[in-house]
Amino acid sequence: MTSTWLVILSIALALGAPAAYALLLRVAVVRNHPEAYVLAFAVATALAGLAVARARTRRWPAWTALALTGVLLIGGSWFNFVGARVPVAPTALRVGERAPDFTLTDAAGRPASLADYRGQKPVVLIFYRGYW
Amino acid sequence: MAELQGLGAALSEAERAGVEIVAVSPDPNERSQKLAEGLHLGYRFLADRDLAVTRRYGLVHARGGPSGEDVPRPATIVLDRNGVVRWLSISSNFQVRPDPADVLRAVRGLS
């Protein structure tokens, strides 16, 4: 493969992988394997490295691709393996024990308590943040 | 947010009627309202602005936010009709949330 094609493939992979991840975030198997985008960045970096090695004359596109994919690989690795870590800490929740009751207001300002559902319905209680 | 969309898509009409999905976040109510309307899922969005409830549950990730603020640890808890915890999942990487299939299996197992 020529250096130009390697550069195109490398950049397409480096930009396409996070775009696909973001678009398919609601699909559990995609969302729950964020290491896949890190792997894509690693492959893209390797392709860019190969492009640099194969470049005969105009070398700057290959070097640019290598710099871009390298930054994404380092940034993506840090985010997934360090930044996104949530430290483990004890919670007030034990399987088989009643969850602590609370009252909060909903979007319309109406108060809602966990106790409202007791004897009525099972509850899926989700504490969430961000786009994931 | 994507996790809530995924769970909503996995639930049938009957299942949605038979279970209450309560989503708690420190987001301001206006944002939750927009999210609730956009999802059309009948979730109950509750605002825990000061994280008081989240803290009581032991689900605060201290200084885990983008500007070093306290944020919730993502968690999904299945409670039976008596409010007893039957299943729970707490993320150790905030990008990872439970698979809706696992949540549904826990809900179906309550009978």
Q: What is the mean pLDDT of each run of 10 residues along chain A (132 residues)?
A: 93 96 92 96 98 92 97 97 91 93 88 93 90 76
Locus of tokens 């290598």: A66
Amino acid at site A10: S
Query: Tell me, what's the pLDDT at A103?
Result: 96
Query: Tell me, what's the pLDDT at B6?
Result: 85
Which residues, listed in sequence order, are joined to residue A104 by a DSSP beta bridge?
A112
Amino acid at site B85: V
Query: Tell me, what's the pLDDT at B39?
Result: 65
Query: Tell me, what's the pLDDT at A80?
Result: 96
Q: State how far the Cα of A50 lies from the Cα of A6, in Å rounded to an integer.
A: 7
Instruction: Give the tens place of pLDDT for each residue, B54-89.
Output: 999 999 999 998 889 999 999 999 999 999 999 999
> From the CA of B67, how many Å to the nearest CA of chain A?
12
Q: The tokens of B5 are what?
A: 């969309």
Query: Tell me, what's the pLDDT at B29?
Result: 64
Q: The tokens of A38 are what?
A: 């890190």
Q: State how far the Cα of A17 lies from the Cα of A12, in Å rounded to an integer.
A: 8
pTM of the predicted structure, to 2 decimals: 0.87
Q: pLDDT category, B32, cuts 50, 70, 90?
A: low
E strand intervals along A66-106: 103-106
Q: Which residues in chain B have Cβ-Cβ distances shorter than 8 Å to A96?
A: 84-86
Query: Tell me, what's the pLDDT at B53?
Result: 96
Can you list the alpha helix ranges (DSSP code H) found in B1-111? 2-10, 13-18, 29-39, 52-56, 100-108
Q: Which residues in chain A have Cβ-Cβ distances shorter than 8 Å to B108?
A: none
More confident residue, A24 or B13: A24
In this structure, what DSSP letter does residue A99 have?
P
Considering only alpha carbons, which residue of chain A is nearest residue B37?
A107
Query: Tell me, what's the pLDDT at B37?
Result: 67
> From the CA of A45, how many Å to the nearest CA of chain B?
23
More confident residue, B2 or A47: A47
Q: Give the three-class secondary structure for B42.
A: coil
- Which region among A65-69, B6-10, B51-55 has the lowest average model confidence (pLDDT)? B6-10
Q: pLDDT category, B30, cuts 50, 70, 90?
A: low
Rg, C-alpha atoms of chain A: 23
Which residues, listed in sequence order, are joined to residue A85 by a DSSP beta bridge?
B93
Measured between CB atoms, which of A26, A106, A132 is closest to B94?
A132
Q: Is the pLDDT of residue B21 over 80?
A: yes
